[in-house]
Amino acid sequence: MPSLVIPADLLPADGRFGCGPSKVRPEQLAHLAEFGPALLGTSHRQAPVKNLVGRVRRGLGELFSLPEGYEVVLGNGGSTAFWDSAAVSLIERRAQLASFGEFGAKFAKAAGAPWLEAPEVRTAAPGTSARAEAAAGFDVYAWPQNETSTGVQAPVARVAGDAGALTVIDATSAAGGTAVDAREFDVYYFAPQKNFAADGGLWFALMSPAAIERVERVAASGRYIPEFLSLKNAVDNSRLDQTLNTPALATLLLMENQIDWINASGGLAWADARTRESSGLLYEWAEASSVATPFVADAADRSQVVVTIDFDESVDASAISKVLRENGVVDTEPYRKLGRNQLRIATFTAIEPDDVRKLLASIDHVLERIG
Ligand SMILES: *Cc1c(COP(=O)(O)O)cnc(C)c1O
């Protein structure tokens, strides 16, 4: 029995507001139930699974309006594995990274591999953003489009550095929910458990011809590259609609349905408008509130897919999350290491703006009683 019962008419129809794994739509589960029986438990080297991989790759190409020559590459291990792949397969000598939260910091750490020159890491305090800046000697510029730990969003625009320098974007929590122009990146990588509403475990990378050329050159350079981390391996396998080792087939089916749904609903522009609407409701609420305020002070830095709201000392945000959780509204806790008196709420594409309205009604209900 919850310590405080939120009336059913105030509760969101779907109570999942986590930043990954995140809400899976019932239609995705129906797709899995429909096509899973013939596919699950069959070889990923045979046509039925390869065709599924091909459909997912083509669907992503359509969603992101990929220019001629860009390729959709995939592999196992999620975005975390991609960081190590980038360190071994993509960065030639030295990277510059913008780091303004936990995820940006993790890639910066991976880019500090001993076979590379020490990276330049441009940091900013949590809740603000840092930018890359063109300078001589860097062959990769990298930053997250959306820093999931803090709810800070950064623009995706090419850095005009040395000839051939690559712009590499961690789009794990932005992709599929935030507009982007593919001509502005060389690598745009993500995992399926955020806006694509599937399960974790895979990574996808949209790669420009320059990025693929880099991968080929580093692979031919004689550097020791573990098989599993080799992006050349991943490119070669992806062209055949395969992965180096066995992928999660259920994840691919969940993702296929989500990509088709976004494409059929109006594509990336539609998803972008939808997440802006949802996040806008939360920011407006926080700005009007006497006890809450958006954690990200500069409105231009505010994420449209991960909203962080600070509470003043009169309110214990963890008590709100706890009551919400007891009522089936889950994962509104802040990023564990940020340690703030905060709620963090995903407004990914799958989440209904009307459910965000309900969430706010639920929070108001709880605040009136525990505040
Ligand atoms: C979730 C997330 C990751 C980590 O993804 P995994 O698939 O769990 O490795 C990396 N970067 C960002 C920005 C994320 O939001």
- Tell me the per-residue pLDDT of 47-56, one tens digit each, with 9 for 90 and over: 999 999 999 9
pLDDT of 2 above 90: no
pLDDT of 330 above 90: yes
Q: What is the pLDDT of residues 113-126, one digit of tens each?
A: 999 999 999 999 99
- 302 DSSP assignment: B
Using the atom order of ligand 1, give the atom closest to the CA of residue 20.
Answer: 1
3-class DSSP state of 311: strand
Q: Taking residues 134-152, report their average pLDDT.
A: 98
Share of the chain above pLDDT 70, in %: 100
> Residue with the nearest Cα to atom 14 of ligand 1?
172
CB atoms within 10 A of CB 366: 22
> Residue with the nearest Cα to atom 4 of ligand 1?
79
Name the phi and psi angles at 56, rounded to 5. Answer: -65, -40
**pLDDT at position 10, please?**
98
Using the atom order of ligand 1, give the atom closest to the CA of residue 171.
Answer: 13
CB 342 within 8 A of CB 295: yes
Give 191 Cα–ligand 1 centroid separation in angstroms.
Answer: 7
For the entire predicted model, the pTM comes to 0.98
Give 171 Cα–ligand 1 centroid separation in angstroms.
Answer: 9
Token duo for residue 23: 């809400």
**pLDDT at position 1, please?**
73
Give 172 Cα–ligand 1 centroid separation in angstroms.
Answer: 5
Q: Taking residues 82-89, report their average pLDDT.
A: 98
If one residue of 173, 187, 229 were mutated to test the ligand 1 pocket, choosing by the most ligand atoms within 8 A of its CB, it would be: 173
pLDDT of 371 above 70: no
Give 146 Cα–ligand 1 centroid separation in angstroms.
Answer: 10
Angle at 106 between CA 104 and CA 107, to 5 degrees: 70
Name the phi and psi angles at 132, rounded to 5. Answer: -70, 155
Using the atom order of ligand 1, give the atom closest to the CA of residue 80.
Answer: 9
Helix 47-63 vs helix 26-39: crossing angle, to nearest 10: 150
Using the atom order of ligand 1, give the atom closest to the CA of residue 145.
Answer: 13
Q: Taking residues 19-44, report their average pLDDT.
A: 97
Mean pLDDT score across all residues of the chain: 97
Q: Taking residues 286-292, report their average pLDDT.
A: 98
Using the atom order of ligand 1, give the atom closest to the CA of residue 200.
Answer: 7
Give 80 Cα–ligand 1 centroid separation in angstroms.
Answer: 6
Give 11 Cα–ligand 1 centroid separation in angstroms.
Answer: 29
pLDDT of 315 above 90: yes
Using the atom order of ligand 1, give the atom closest to the CA of residue 306.
Answer: 15
CB 197 within 8 A of CB 23: yes
Give 94 Cα–ligand 1 centroid separation in angstroms.
Answer: 23
Give 82 Cα–ligand 1 centroid separation in angstroms.
Answer: 10
Q: How are beta strands 342-346 and 306-311 bridged, if at all?
A: antiparallel
> Residue with the nearest Cα to atom 12 of ligand 1?
172
Q: What is the pLDDT of residues 181-233, one digit of tens each?
A: 999 999 999 999 999 999 999 999 999 999 999 999 999 999 999 999 999 99
Task: Identify the residue whose tokens are 């009169």.
Answer: 314
Ligand 1 first shell, C-beta below 6 A: 20, 78-80, 103, 144, 148, 170, 172-173, 191, 200
Share of the chain above pLDDT 90, in %: 98
Token duo for residue 221: 């350079």
